[in-house]
Amino acid sequence: MEPSTKIKAAISAALTYYIKSQEEEAAAMARLAAPPPLAAVSLWSSSGRQAQMEMRRLLQMRLFAR
């Protein structure tokens, strides 16, 4: 009993669809698992902001101490 060509085509289509869906699911999981890239923090910019805040703090202390 050899299966007809329609049955062979249906089996082939089902297997192709299953394999394709598995690949898409694996690709979606890989996208979800990958963490987003972190922005690089420049030490020069953070040091400059810290210096500005320190200067403002000193200025405010001098102005409000009167």
Q: What 8-state DSSP symbol labels residue 65?
A: T
**pTM for the whole structure:** 0.45
Q: What is the pLDDT of residue 66?
A: 47
Domain coordinates in residue numbering, the chain:
5-34+42-64
pLDDT at 31 > cutoff 90: no
Amino acid found at 51: A
Question: ∠ CA 25-21-7 to the nearest 5 degrees?
Answer: 160
Query: How many helices (H) and strands (E) would you count in the chain?
Result: 2, 0
Q: Which percentage of the chain shows pLDDT scores above 70?
A: 91
Q: What is the end-to-end Cα distance of the chain in Å, rounded?
A: 104
